Amino acid sequence: VLGAILIFALVSSNQKFIAKSYVSEGEISAIIVNVADREVEVSQSADDKIHIDFYESEKEYYNISVSENNELVLSLEQNKSFLDYFGTKPSKTYRKIYLQVPKGILQNIEITTTNERIALNNVSVNGNISLNSNGGNIDFNSLSAGKEVKLSAKNGNINGSIVGKWDDFTISCTVKKGECNLPSYKDGGDKTLTAECNNGNINIEFENIMTS
């Protein structure tokens, strides 16, 4: 079931873009984002719902659906002619997705994009987090997953902090044309951290947060 969408008109130099806001309804178990040439910024929502803010035009728009397994899927659709692929891209403002997710309720988050950055701040899931950027950085702060964190970047860096102790994770890192502050492999953890970087650096720290 799709939530309410609020519409406001904005005009670009070559396309008319519209700002839209999506709010989830009902139970959502996971989020899957599959886009191209879009920056994706994820933060914690103030309620138990998922909020998405984005811009779209008649030529570049999003398909938002909820599967039978309660997975919210967001994908970029394009209705362009051959000539539309030449010239300048739309403003960076229109090529950004703001996603807010509830803390510790979702099972999985999966985000894939190209040529842009993925950024997460204080995001927590019970299962797995998978982030893939081909042509942009992956940045995160206080990232928390119950089972697995999987990160992949090409022509970009992977930087951030993960909630947990070093000993909590089995680690596997692969770097080509870059540097990494973690070992290529370490076992013994109940959780899994996998990081792959081609033509970029990996710098990941662990946050051992004590709770009362």
pLDDT the model gives residue 15: 79
User: What is the mean pLDDT for each group of 10 consecutive residues in the chain (212 residues)?
Assistant: 51 74 95 97 96 95 95 90 58 95 95 98 97 98 97 98 96 97 96 98 87 39
The alpha carbon of residue 117 and the mean position of all alpha carbons in its chain are separated, in whole angstroms, by 9
Residue 99 parent element (H or E):
strand 96-101
| Alpha-carbon gap, residue 78 to 109, rounded angstroms | 24
Rounded (5°) CA angle 73-76-78 = 145
- Separation CA 76–CA 81 (nearest Å): 16
pTM score, whole prediction: 0.89
CA pair distance 24, 10, nearest whole angstrom:
24
Q: Which amino acid is at 74?
A: L
pLDDT of residue 84: 53
CA distance 44 to 133: 21
